[in-house]
Amino acid sequence: MTSQSLLDGLVASARPLAAQGKPADYIPALARSDPGAIGAAVMHVDASLVVCGDARVPFSLQSVSKALALPYVIDSLGEEEVFSRVGKEPTGDPFNSIIRLEASRLKRPYNPMINAGAMVVTSLMPGATVEEKLGAFSRYAAPLLGVARLDLDQEIRDSEAATANRNRSIAWFLRDLGLLGAEVELTLDAYFGQCALLVDAVGLAHYGAVLARDGLEPGSGRRLMSPRAARVTKGLMQSCGLYDGSGEFCVEAGLPAKSGVGGGILASARNRLGIGTYGPALDIRGNSLAGVHIIAGLSKGLDLFCL
């Protein structure tokens, strides 16, 4: 069992790191985050929970939503349909890179954990309107996060839409390659929506615990997602989950994880527990400094290194 003192110690030792990074500043709403906020939660597969710090502070999913959208479209459309449009390989490139869409032989995004691949995934979400798409996705994702419903931060969504020139460029390129399952604007609208969904560290820990049992709800053991969707998602989190810091994280923590520029990181330890962290001060690759520190510390302290 995770001891409260271990988690408290890691959160305390993470505090000085916040000064080494800063919140994402491309969106005013994100830039206003408290850079000193830090929270962490561990949920075991029996549903027992340990929390510390700002574990109940809501923040936007941002790229963590990629780890929810992927299993959703896999469970909705089947794996084959999804991976005919996006690959499974890490790239070493920044999250918003467009180069490989033109330069690679494959002419498709390398994986669903970078923006280009994630937009393809979002475009495949069932539904004719953005409300239908996000509504159905939220109904899939809420139980995974252990909540009754998902709220959306409209201010973040709006400012994301207003500043998303690069994402818009990527989306039109994907359209040119024939990879989108919906119109560009509808896809972008849904993508910004999924990124603006609110979560807290406890919710991420809950989802980590669901993944830890390949899709079963902590405690109850109720099936929330297919085992295959859980494994594919964890496999891609493992090799691509922290942008161009994925390889180093794999060495340090040895756990599948997914970060977002909202400051959250989600991690999962097979058959044992899920971890959720919050810390909006990011390193240059866009990963939460506090979150990486805490998860690596938990991996060491609880012997979670899975390799």
Which residues contribute to the site for its own copies (CB under 8 A)? 87-93, 97-100, 102-104, 110-111, 165-166, 168-173, 175-176, 231-232, 234-240, 244-248, 250-252, 254-256, 268, 270, 305-307
C-alpha–C-alpha distance, residues 144 and 61, integer Å: 13
For its own copies, give the closer residue by CB, 63 or 238: 238
Is the four-CA dihedral 18, 111, 64, 23 of positive or negative sign? Answer: positive
User: Which member of 110, 207, 243, 278 is catalytic?
Assistant: 243
C-alpha–C-alpha distance, residues 283 and 126, integer Å: 35
Angle of CA points 275, 264, 226, to nearest 5°: 55
- Taking residue 37's Cβ as centre, other Cβ atoms within 10 Å add up to 18
What are the b/e assignments for 219-247, b being 16+ CB within 10 Å?
eeeeebbeeebbebbbebbbbbbbbbbbe
Q: Tell me how far, at minimum, the Cβ of 132 lies from its own copies, in Å.
A: 24
Q: Tell me how far, at minimum, the Cβ of 240 lies from its own copies, in Å.
A: 7
For its own copies, give the closer residue by CB, 137 or 173: 173
Residue 82 catalytic?
A: no
Q: Is 22 helix (H, G, I), strand (E, B) or coil?
A: strand
Residue 140 catalytic?
A: no
User: Which member of 261, 268, 278, 292 is catalytic?
Assistant: 261
Q: Is 261 helix (H, G, I), strand (E, B) or coil?
A: coil
Q: Tell me how far, at minimum, the Cβ of 184 lies from its own copies, in Å.
A: 8
Residue 88 catalytic?
A: no
Residue 259 catalytic?
A: no
User: Which member of 45, 60, 66, 184 is catalytic?
Assistant: 66
Residue 234 catalytic?
A: no
Q: Tell me how far, at minimum, the Cβ of 159 lies from its own copies, in Å.
A: 15
C-alpha–C-alpha distance, residues 116 and 86, integer Å: 9
For its own copies, give the closer residue by CB, 36 or 247: 247
User: Which member of 33, 60, 63, 97 is catalytic?
Assistant: 63
For its own copies, give the closer residue by CB, 33 or 91: 91
For its own copies, give the closer residue by CB, 177 or 198: 177
When computed from its CA atoms, the radius of gyration of the chain, rounded to whole angstroms, is 18
Partners of residue 22 on adjacent β-strands: 282
Q: Which residues are catalytic?
A: 63, 66, 191, 243, 261
